[in-house]
Structure 1
Amino acid sequence: MKEKVNLVQIIVSGLISGCIYGLAALGLVLIFKTTEVANFAHGEMAMITTFVSYVFLTSYGFPYFVSLVLSLIFATIFGIVVYLVFMKRVQSAPHLNQIVLTLGLFMVFNGLAGITWGNQPFSFPEAFQGDSYKIGNVFITMNEIFIVILTLVLMLVFFVIFRFSKIGLGMQAASQDTMASELMGIKVSGVFMAAWAIGAALGGIAGMMTAPVTFLSPNMMSEILVLSFAGAVLGGFVNLPGAVFGGLLVGVFENLISYYIAPELRIVFVFLLILIILYVRPQGIFGGAKIVKKV
């Protein structure tokens, strides 16, 4: 009976972590699905947004949720600036060149954060403070409930945006055929900019949910980025619900490995799981037939 109780707690804790991975993976997949660029600077952009939130909280004394909103506004502008200043200039370059640029941005943003705020870890507050609640045989905090609700709400918002809004339909069109989208009057550069803006905001949310657990530092998102990429790959890397599901799967799986085998082997086993799934289904769990974009 004790083993069963532990197993349920491990799965629930893994789902909480998986929500964070899913949010970060959602931003990765959104940018990749729209622009076909894997943004390796995604985690560092999220980290900088989290530091900005920390400044709002400590230097200006704003309440948590005011700081959250202001930080997401910053993240949106940050994503737009990164696209306009860097990515738009290489929009027509080979995708490998664009990926290398994001790796360069990764190093630049990490270095700038270290120079600005130092490498000493900071304590970052949770959205909701308080003791754990016992639901059945599972202990869960109000902050963890908030993370789950936030993930579900964002999934619903993105479903509505992509199904019914003009910008969502434009992203779907641009992801399938860039040239045809331009001929139909869709401003592809505007769609790409929106993808970077929304992706940066999603990464920022993941960063602010991660910081209370891992402490705030320039390297806080390195492992999260790896696990988010893993979740995105499992989901198919072009499927938004698949990104969230992949993140949840990674969260539960790594928790099981940490508890029953060894914490230091969890990433090894996560990538072993990816190898097995991609061997059976190369396009990922939710990936469909490959769509070749015309440029």
Structure 2
Amino acid sequence: MDLFLARLFDGLSNGSTYALIALALVIIYKATTLINFAQGEMAMFGAFIVLVLATERGLPIWVAVILGMLLSAAGAAVIERVLIRPFDPYDHLPLVIVTLGLFLSITALAGIIWRFGPRAFPRMYPAGTAVTIGNATLTWYTVGVVATVLIVAGLVTLLLNTTKIGLAFRAVSSNLDSSELSGIRVGPTLQFGWALAAAVGTLGACVFVADPIRQLEPTVMVRVLIFAASAAAIGGLDSLWGAVIGGLVIGMVQSIVVPYVGFIPNEMSLATAVIVLMLVLLFRPSGLFGTARVERV
């Protein structure tokens, strides 16, 4: 039981970090019906900015995180305006190629600036144990990560449901042509979506590498992006809270299912997550909480 609880706590921690990145993917998908393959690398670059602000400029870690999120949002807004908006939003192939190019370029740029060696990231949550049950310990890091993802998901939902820009974003994500005919400025609205996704993604990357067992380096988010994309697809690519549930599902599969199934080696945790994704999409193509597509015939 102690071992099970320890793995349960690990699943909560990992799943919550995947959920934060999945939220960023869902925000972009809701706006463009496109998976941003550079989302993880944009988040990694934002985390490096936070590291510089916290360690070299001496800012408190949460002040550095907020400033890093704002700078990441500004960078993503520029990327949307310069590299994304000139293309036809209905032709996804050029946009996919652009995001893949961004994936490679941002990784290389981070390596040039900060090199490829791992770096320790400052703590974002108190050290120590919050709850001890037998030999299983629930750390303040896990408590903080779960609280962070719930707060962020709630704030993003509130933003999209109660503000003017949120209403415009929901309209554009529902029907781009009708939104434009209604007088909504589609370009700036999509730019807002990219900025919001970058800010959330940067927070997710910071939370991920703030775990004492991890370090920040230019390729740290490659594996995380795959887990997060699986989480977003499982929950439903247009569902914010579905991304949270999907992230927790992937975290539990990685921490509980893989260790308890004897014939699955730990190195196959990534493949196992993809298999779970395939099984969900086989029976629920729109994901657990996604909106089923309706087509007229």
Give the structure-2-normalised TM-score. 0.93
User: Does residue 283 of the first structure (1) align with residue 281 of the second (2)?
Assistant: no
The corresponding residue for 1:177 is 175
1:8 shift after superposition: 2.2
Opposite residue 236 of structure 1, the aligned amino acid is G
Specify whether residues 69 and 291 from structure 1 end up closer, same or farther in structure 2 by C-alpha distance, changes over 3 A only: farther
The corresponding residue for 1:34 is 31
SS of 2:121's equivalent? Answer: coil
The corresponding residue for 1:99 is 96
User: Does residue 223 of the first structure (1) align with residue 223 of the second (2)?
Assistant: yes
Distance 1:223 1:94 in 2: 27
Distance 1:122 1:109 in 2: 18
Which segment drifts farther, 117-126 or 8-17? 8-17
1:277 shift after superposition: 1.3
SS of 2:144's equivalent? Answer: helix
**Which ranges in structure 1 are unaligned for 5 or more consecutive residues?**
none
SS of 1:134's equivalent? Answer: strand
Spell out, residue by residue over 1:43-93, the C-alpha distance to the aligned partner (whole angstroms, 9 max, x if none). Answer: 000000000011111211111111111111111111111111111112446
Distance 2:138 2:109 in 1: 36
Distance 2:172 2:53 in 1: 36
Spell out, residue by residue over 1:88-138, the C-alpha distance to the aligned partner (whole angstroms, 9 max, x if none). Answer: 112446112101110000000000001111001001122124222334344
The corresponding residue for 2:70 is 73
Contact kept? 2:25, 2:39, Cα under 8 Å: yes
Specify whether residues 178 and 93 from structure 1 end up closer, same or farther in structure 2 by C-alpha distance, changes over 3 A only: closer
User: Does residue 50 of the first structure (1) align with residue 53 of the second (2)?
Assistant: no
The corresponding residue for 1:259 is 259
Opposite residue 46 of structure 1, the aligned amino acid is A
1:39 shift after superposition: 0.4
Contact kept? 1:257, 1:265, Cα under 8 Å: no
Distance 1:52 1:285 in 2: 35
SS of 2:290's equivalent? Answer: coil
Contact kept? 2:121, 2:209, Cα under 8 Å: yes
1:258 shift after superposition: 4.3
**Which ranges in structure 2 are unaligned for 5 or more consecutive residues?**
none
Contact kept? 1:27, 1:199, Cα under 8 Å: yes
Distance 1:105 1:91 in 2: 18
Quick one: which of 178, 184, 191 aligns to 1:186? 184
Contact kept? 1:29, 1:239, Cα under 8 Å: yes
User: Does residue 88 of the first structure (1) align with residue 85 of the second (2)?
Assistant: yes
The corresponding residue for 2:196 is 198
Quick one: which of 54, 60, 63 aligns to 2:60? 63
User: Does residue 248 of the first structure (1) align with residue 251 of the second (2)?
Assistant: no
1:144 shift after superposition: 2.0
Distance 2:36 2:182 in 1: 28
Quick one: which of 105, 115, 119 aligns to 2:116? 119
Contact kept? 2:32, 2:89, Cα under 8 Å: no
Contact kept? 1:257, 1:266, Cα under 8 Å: no
* Runs ≥4 residues deviating over 2 A: 133-138, 257-262
SS of 1:39's equivalent? Answer: coil
SS of 2:131's equivalent? Answer: strand
Distance 1:169 1:270 in 2: 34
Give aligned-pair identity as a percent.
Answer: 31
Alignment: residue pair count: 289
Distance 2:102 2:229 in 1: 17
The corresponding residue for 1:236 is 236
The corresponding residue for 1:144 is 142
Distance 2:174 2:199 in 1: 24
The corresponding residue for 1:273 is 276
Spell out, residue by residue over 1:160-218, the C-alpha distance to the aligned partner (whole angstroms, 9 max, x if none). Answer: 11221111111111112111101111111111001000000011011101113321100
The corresponding residue for 1:163 is 161
- RMSD across aligned positions (CA): 1.5
SS of 1:216's equivalent? Answer: coil
